[in-house]
Chain A
Amino acid sequence: MRTSLTMIASLAIVALLVGAGGLAAAPSGKVLVVAIAKMDIRTLDPHRQYEISPPQIMRAAYETLVTPGDQGRSLTKLEPLLAQSYTISPDGKVYTFTLRRGVRFHTGAVMTAADVVFSYRRLGNLKDNPAWLQSDHVERIEAVDDSTVRITLKEPNAAFLSILTSPNFAVVDSKAVQAHNGTDATNADKADKATDWLDQNSAGTGPFVLRKWTRGVEVVLERNAAYWRQPSPLGRIVIRDIPDPPTQLGQIARGDVAIAQSLDADLIARFRQSGRGQVVEGNTLDMTYLAMTTNVTISSPLAERRVRQAIAYAIDYDGIINGLMRGSAVQIPSIIPVGLLGTEPALALKRDIARAKTLLQEAGYPNGFSIKMVYPTRVLVGGLSAETLATKLQADLAQIGVSLQLEPRETVTWRADYRAGKLAITIADWTPDFADSHGWAIPFAVSGASAAKRVYYDNPRAGALATEAGRITDPRRRAELYRNLQRILINDAAFVGLIQPKVNIAVSPRTTGVAYNAVYFLDYYYVK
């Protein structure tokens, strides 16, 4: 009797221990620790998130129909991911996707066309921050059969496939989300209650499963052993919020952290020197530019194209890139970022003081002129303060006799004034909506579009090129059109491209496979 009681007792203790340790039983394999400063995660619901930090987490847990090609290195060549193949109708409005078979969600359910339809409808009907990606473009989504999805657009859009690579177009397990009170109905903005569950669980098909999100502290992901491709060798990924960049440097130097994402130019330089790892570089799709009005009532000198061209030739681009940005940027030739269709570094202007002075003379301003530049009191994309850039431009333009009277203005007020078209000359930045040239061409080149109207830019040829390039699907022709468009924009000089910041990721020596991608920042599937 006593023996069996002891046995029962021991078994009970073992069961308790195993049960208690169950939570702690992580998959075998390396634990990858990543440091990011001040993660701005508001939610991990893929159809709601639109902040800077979530995309890499979304990429790990969820997948899209198509994805940037060459393991994420190419933004212009897309590859099918959850889709096996696709066709586009001749009028460019209907996209038909054939889905991969046998792909399972983290919940175990098999992915079908119904899940894709549910996911995309939910994205639009939640009416949250990214909803416009769907609702501005898509007319109708239908499941033709279990493995075929047909999407009809409101009008032909060459950028649609790029838009589909956005992490917001994640395919989720519709049954699981609905079981947690989620919905794709038109009143989803009021009726959907699945977000709380999605903040702590992933209903995706990706190589990693979301285990836990502790606000302000960390996100933990674990390997998906049932992933439809070869599972990742990483057992667990811990993405930690380490808000102080110098602290991140210390941690990666010590080997506590494998990837540090928030080191600024100085810290990166120190990291490179220390030899404690390597730095992975990539071009973001952010940009900083100079805007000059073409409206004679706002500024009579600037309304004259040759004056704007003179100013464009007077800028010390090299000094800005190598000096102010310490080489952590490239000069963006016009307004379409490098890496996208139709942009070539060869198009970029080089400083030419003599030519600038000649142009000014021809325009009737041999002694230059004085003009007020209002600029926002904030730090621009890439970490450069607007004040520093403004001061540099002031020095550059002084060399041709143009005297910039700098006037700092609080960001919110500046933005309102700039959008209302009240500013003669200013510096501004722009972040990507999606990774296709169309997203820049339309706002800047079409008369009355969001950026163009701020400086009253009106060139019908430019607008026509931008519209046409956004409609046809042949990439070579599109690239040609965008090249021509940018030549016109550079010639009109209403917008002068200045800085396209780079991203610098510090990586410890034993970690490989880290590559930057502007759509989702980093794909952990390839990291070892």
Chain B
Amino acid sequence: MTNFWRFVGRRVVVTVPVLILITLLGFVLTYMIPADPLAMVLSERAMANPEIVRAYRERWGLDAPPHLRYLTYVRNLARGDLGASIATQQPVAEDLKTFVPATVELAAAALLLAVAIGVPLGVVAAVRRDRWPDHLARVGSLAGVSMPAFWLGLLALAIFSFRFGIAPGPGRLDPQIMPPPLWTGLLVVDSLLARRWDALADALRHLALPALVLAAYVMGVITRVTRSSVLDTLTQDYVRTARAKGATEGAVVIHHALRNALIPTLTVIGLAVGNLMAGAVMTETIFAWPGLGRYAVDAAGKLDFPAIMGVTLFVAVVYVAVNFVVDVAYVVLDPRIRLD
């Protein structure tokens, strides 16, 4: 047990310098772009008016030299202040609170679908190797990995929404439906908490198509990795022993082999979470999903330094946290792996 806490402690200690390095990198990269963020926000006539320019520079601290600006930023960060976005004029923390839940909801749904379908599919493909379930699974996963998200999204909308009318249009909720009171920002959770069944149903219906589109890629990867991993495990000695002892095939696969086979799959899932949380810009654009991806792209285009840094840090923290969880999960799955 003390090993575990030592592991946690070490991880936390390493994370802090990593995050600081990320802020420095983000700052330097944004600075290297030879453009004035004010020119992106102010009109030409406004730029010609010295009063307006002065007022803006003062408000956003743009007249200080770069190293001072960076130190101010880091100092504020230590106090939990992420600064204010130049484009939306809101505190970045507020912006994140507005846009992150939408991405979390979409990412969670996509991941759930990808795992719920991908893992069993991979197992079946491995067990029925070289027969039709295997071929089906391999072609399916290849398709999922190869199709670009924007194309798949448009196709899905065109067919299921516009042509056949089974799926609703883009957006998180129908314009006619009142959104549930805001608690977590996840419409599904908030509707449940408020017992607003109409909003719940509508939110789920709107979630279905974009989640499926996003899940396609992850599902493809998970299927392949699970398949090869299970295949690998099934040739291990202990599996032959289990079979020799008379265990049913089902017990062999699920009880003995799967636990170990899941380790590479877990790695993939961890990476997928990081990717999904960064916000799938294409999918969010097509489905009018107001998430982190769109926010990040807008911020980048406007040289909105505080917003860019806010998003970068958030995604970095997510990656670090997920990797940590995955490492712990390894140990749970395979006691042979130790935490040092």
Q: Which residues of A contact B (CB under 8 A)?
A: 23-24, 31, 33, 42-43, 50, 127-132, 135-136, 189, 195, 214-218, 238, 240-244, 246-247, 250-251, 253-254, 256, 412-413, 433, 450
- Across the interface, A243 reaches (CB within 8 A) one of B43, B49, B162, B285, namely B285
Alpha-carbon distance A254/B161, docked complex (angstroms): 9
Interface residues of B in 24-76 (CB under 8 A from A): 34-35, 39, 41-46, 48-49, 51-52, 54-56, 59
Q: List B contacts of A241 (CB < 8 A).
A: 288, 290
Closest to A239 in B: B175
Q: Identify the interface centre among B42, B89, B154: most chain A CB within 10 Å of its CB.
A: B89
What size tier do the contact residues of chain B reach? 35 or more
Q: How far is the CB of B299 from chain A (nearest CB, A)?
A: 12
Contact B170 A215 (CB under 8 A): no
Q: List B contacts of A254 (CB < 8 A).
A: 162, 165, 169
**Is residue B98 within 8 Å, beta carbon to beta carbon, of the partner chain?**
yes
Contact A31 B175 (CB under 8 A): yes
Contact B48 A23 (CB under 8 A): no
Q: List A contacts of B154 (CB < 8 A).
A: 244, 246-247
**Is residue B176 within 8 Å, beta carbon to beta carbon, of the partner chain?**
yes
Contact A128 B178 (CB under 8 A): no
5 closest cross-chain pairs (CB), A and B: A216-B290, A127-B55, A250-B162, A189-B55, A412-B35
Q: List B contacts of A243 (CB < 8 A).
A: 285-286, 288, 294
Q: List A contacts of B43 (CB < 8 A).
A: 50, 129-130, 433
Q: How far is the CB of A242 from chain B (nearest CB, A)?
A: 5
Q: Identify the interface centre among B59, B161, B170, B290: most chain A CB within 10 Å of its CB.
A: B170
Closest to B295 in A: A216
- Across the interface, A240 reaches (CB within 8 A) one of B42, B56, B95, B175, namely B175
Q: How far is the CB of B294 from chain A (nearest CB, A)?
A: 7
Interface residues of B in 153-199 (CB under 8 A from A): 154, 157-158, 161-162, 165, 169-172, 175-176, 178
Q: Mark B108-122, 1 if CB is under 8 A from A, else 0.
A: 000000000000000
Closest to A439 in B: B45
Contact B46 A50 (CB under 8 A): yes
Given A23-B178, A215-B98, A253-B162; A42-B288 close (CB under 8 Å): no
Alpha-carbon distance A216/B295, docked complex (angstroms): 9
A sample of 16 cross-chain residue pairs with beta-carbon separation below 8 angstroms, ordered by A number, consists of: A31-B175, A42-B89, A127-B51, A128-B55, A129-B41, A131-B49, A132-B46, A215-B90, A215-B290, A218-B175, A240-B288, A244-B170, A244-B286, A412-B35, A412-B39, A413-B34
Contact A131 B169 (CB under 8 A): no
**Is residue B317 within 8 Å, beta carbon to beta carbon, of the partner chain?**
no
Q: Which residues of B contact A (CB under 8 A)?
A: 34-35, 39, 41-46, 48-49, 51-52, 54-56, 59, 87-90, 95, 98-99, 154, 157-158, 161-162, 165, 169-172, 175-176, 178, 285-288, 290, 294-295
Q: How far is the CB of B111 from chain A (nearest CB, A)?
A: 23
Contact B176 A31 (CB under 8 A): yes
Contact A240 B171 (CB under 8 A): yes
Q: How far is the CB of B117 from chain A (nearest CB, A)?
A: 26
Q: Identify the interface centre among A250, A254, A413: most chain B CB within 10 Å of its CB.
A: A250
Q: List B contacts of A240 (CB < 8 A).
A: 171, 175, 288
Q: How far is the CB of B301 from chain A (nearest CB, A)?
A: 10
Known: A131-B46, A251-B170, A450-B44. 8 other contacts (CB 8 A): A127-B52, A128-B52, A130-B43, A215-B99, A240-B288, A242-B171, A243-B294, A247-B287
Alpha-carbon distance A31/B174, docked complex (angstroms): 12
Contact B161 A250 (CB under 8 A): yes
Alpha-carbon distance A412/B51, docked complex (angstroms): 23
Closest to B175 in A: A238
Q: List A contacts of B294 (CB < 8 A).
A: 216, 243
Alpha-carbon distance A433/B47, docked complex (angstroms): 13
Closest to B288 in A: A242
Q: List B contacts of A189 (CB < 8 A).
A: 55, 59
Alpha-carbon distance A436/B95, docked complex (angstroms): 38
Alpha-carbon distance A131/B161, docked complex (angstroms): 45
